[in-house]
């Protein structure tokens, strides 16, 4: 009976160790998954920032184009008025 309780105690100890190892592995797995998500988010943010810079550059070109178009209209109108 004494041997059986010792074996049971060792078995219980092993099960606790195994549960601890499993919990540690699960924690590491979750931490890795979190790091992967964080890295993907950083990459997405960088792409988003690049797109915003491109949009800003396009907006500046549109503004410049519209300004030029306005100048052309003014010049055209002035020329037409001068002819008359």
Q: pLDDT band for position 2 (50/70/90)?
A: low
Q: What is the DSSP letter of 79?
A: H
The string of pLDDT tens digits covering residues 9-24 is 999 999 999 999 999 9
SS3 21: helix
pTM: 0.60
Distances (CA, A) of 50 to 38, 40, 47, 55, 67: 18, 15, 5, 9, 26
pLDDT computed for residue 4 by the predictor: 72
Q: pLDDT band for position 39 (50/70/90)?
A: very high
* Residues 72, 56: Cα–Cα separation, whole Å: 24
Is the pLDDT at 63 greater than 90? The verdict is: yes
């Amino acid at each position: 009976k004494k041997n059986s309780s010792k074996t049971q105690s060792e078995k219980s100890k092993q099960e606790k160790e195994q549960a601890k190892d499993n919990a540690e592995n699960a924690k590491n797995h979750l931490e890795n998954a979190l790091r992967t998500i964080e890295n993907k988010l950083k990459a997405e943010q960088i792409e988003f920032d690049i797109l915003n810079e491109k949009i800003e550059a396009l907006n500046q070109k549109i503004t410049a184009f519209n300004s030029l178009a306005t100048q052309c209209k003014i010049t055209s109108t002035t020329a037409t008025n001068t002819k008359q």
